C-alpha cells in the first residue's frame, strides 16, 4: 500500500475523444510522475510535475498534458485519443525533485481502452 | 541513464533464496541502482536501491559489485506471492527507464 491513489481504475473511450486521469500523491510527496504501460511492456515515462510545473518529459506528443495542484495531486489529460493510447497509465509520487535518489512510489494505475 | 540487462525469466522453489542478476556495465559514478517489481494488474512496487554499498531492508538485499557493473537482488525466502516481473533500473535523472525485466516464478 503506497498511499498513491488513481481514478478511475478503468475507462473506455472512443477515438478522437479526450480523457482526464487523476492521481493523489502519497502524503508528504511533492513530485508526481506519469507513465504509460502498453500490454506486455515496461512503463514508459510521460512527464513529471514538481511545484506545479512540468519538470521533464519523455517522448510523448503535446496532446499529452498535465497539471499539478497546490496539494500535489495531479491530472493527466490526453486529447484526440488514438487506438495506440490504450494502456495502463501509472502515477508515481516522490519527495523532492532535488534529491534524485528518492524512490518513486506507484499507484495501481488507470486502465484506458480506446475503441 | 545506463542500460541494464536481465534474464527474461527465472524459477525459484518456495522457501529458497531467489537471486536475480542485473548487468549495468555502462553505469556512471552518480547513478543509483533501483529494483522494482510488478505483480500482474498492479503498479510497480519499490523494493530497494543503492549506490555503492550493499543494502538490506525488510523485503530484500541488494549486492552491488565493487566495479558497480552488475548487481544481484536477493529475496531470502521466496514465497508464492513473490511471483512477479522484477525490474532493475539505473537512474540519475528524473525518470525511471524500465526495460523488460525478469519474470520470476516461485514454484510450490
* pLDDT tens digits for range B32-69: 999 999 998 899 999 999 999 899 999 999 999 999 99
Question: Is B44–A33 a contact, with Cβ atoms under 8 angstroms apart?
Answer: no
Residues of A in contact with B95 (CB under 8 A): 33, 45, 48, 56, 58
Q: Answer whether residue A99 shows pLDDT above 60.
A: no
Q: Answer whether residue B102 shows pLDDT above 90.
A: yes
Q: Across the A/B interface, how many CB contacts are shorter than 8 Å?
A: 60
- Spatial separation of the C-alpha atoms in residues B36 and B45, rounded to whole Å: 5
B43 class by beta-carbon count within 10 Å (0-12 exposed, 13-18 middle, 19+ buried): buried
Q: Answer whether residue A97 shows pLDDT above 80.
A: no
> Using an 8 Å Cβ cutoff, are B54 and B71 in contact?
no
- Spatial separation of the C-alpha atoms in residues A102 and A93, rounded to whole Å: 10
Distance from CA of B65 to the nearest CA of A (A): 19
Q: Determine the residue of chain B that is closest to A6 in CA distance.
A: B43
Question: Is B101–A42 a contact, with Cβ atoms under 8 angstroms apart?
Answer: yes
Question: Is B49–A58 a contact, with Cβ atoms under 8 angstroms apart?
Answer: no
- The answer to whether B21 faces chain A, any CB pair under 8 Å, is no
Task: Tell me the pLDDT tens digit for each residue of A24-78.
Answer: 998 888 899 999 999 989 999 999 999 899 989 999 999 999 999 999 999 999 9
Find residues 24-63 of chain B whose CB sits inside 8 Å of chain A: 32, 34, 36, 41-46, 49, 51
pLDDT band at A114 (very low <50, low <70, confident <90, very high): very high
Residue B27: which residues within 8 A CB-CB, separation 6 or more?
Answer: B2, B33, B68, B69, B90
Q: Answer whether residue B1 shows pLDDT above 70.
A: no
CB A16: neighbour CB atoms within 10 A?
Answer: 10
Q: Determine the residue of chain B that is closest to A39 in CA distance.
A: B41
- Spatial separation of the C-alpha atoms in residues B57 and B61, rounded to whole Å: 6
Q: Give the three cell numbers for residue A7.
A: 481514478
Q: Give the three cell numbers for residue A33.
A: 510522475
Residues of A in contact with B91 (CB under 8 A): 100
Question: Is A97–B94 a contact, with Cβ atoms under 8 angstroms apart?
Answer: yes
Distance from CA of B56 to the nearest CA of A (A): 15
Pick from A43, A100, A101: which is nearest to B44 by CB? A43
Residues of B in contact with A33 (CB under 8 A): 94-96
Backbone angles phi, psi at B32, to 5 degrees: -90, 155
Mean pLDDT, all residues of chain B? 93
Amino acid at each position: 500500500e503506497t498511499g498513491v491513489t488513481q481514478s478511475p481504475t478503468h475507462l473506455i473511450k472512443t477515438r478522437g475523444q479526450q480523457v482526464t486521469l487523476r492521481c493523489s500523491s502519497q502524503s508528504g510527496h511533492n513530485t508526481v510522475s506519469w507513465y504509460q504501460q502498453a500490454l506486455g511492456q515496461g512503463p514508459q515515462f510521460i512527464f513529471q510535475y514538481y511545484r506545479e510545473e512540468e519538470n521533464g518529459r519523455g517522448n510523448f506528443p503535446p496532446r499529452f498534458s498535465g497539471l499539478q495542484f497546490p496539494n500535489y495531486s495531479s491530472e493527466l489529460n490526453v486529447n484526440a485519443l488514438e487506438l495506440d493510447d490504450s494502456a495502463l497509465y501509472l502515477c508515481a509520487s516522490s519527495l523532492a525533485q532535488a534529491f534524485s535518489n528518492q524512490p518513486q512510489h506507484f499507484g495501481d494505475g488507470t486502465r484506458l481502452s480506446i475503441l | 541513464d545506463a542500460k541494464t540487462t536481465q534474464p527474461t525469466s527465472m524459477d525459484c522453489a518456495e522457501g529458497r533464496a531467489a537471486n536475480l542478476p542485473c548487468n549495468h556495465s555502462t553505469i556512471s559514478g552518480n547513478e543509483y541502482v533501483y529494483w522494482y517489481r510488478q505483480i500482474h494488474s498492479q503498479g510497480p512496487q519499490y523494493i530497494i536501491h543503492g549506490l555503492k554499498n550493499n543494502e538490506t531492508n525488510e523485503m530484500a538485499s541488494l549486492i552491488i559489485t565493487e566495479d558497480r557493473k552488475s548487481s544481484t537482488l536477493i529475496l531470502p525466502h521466496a514465497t508464492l506471492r513473490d511471483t512477479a516481473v522484477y525490474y532493475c533500473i539505473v537512474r540519475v535523472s528524473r525518470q525511471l527507464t524500465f526495460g523488460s525485466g525478469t519474470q520470476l516464478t516461485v514454484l510450490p
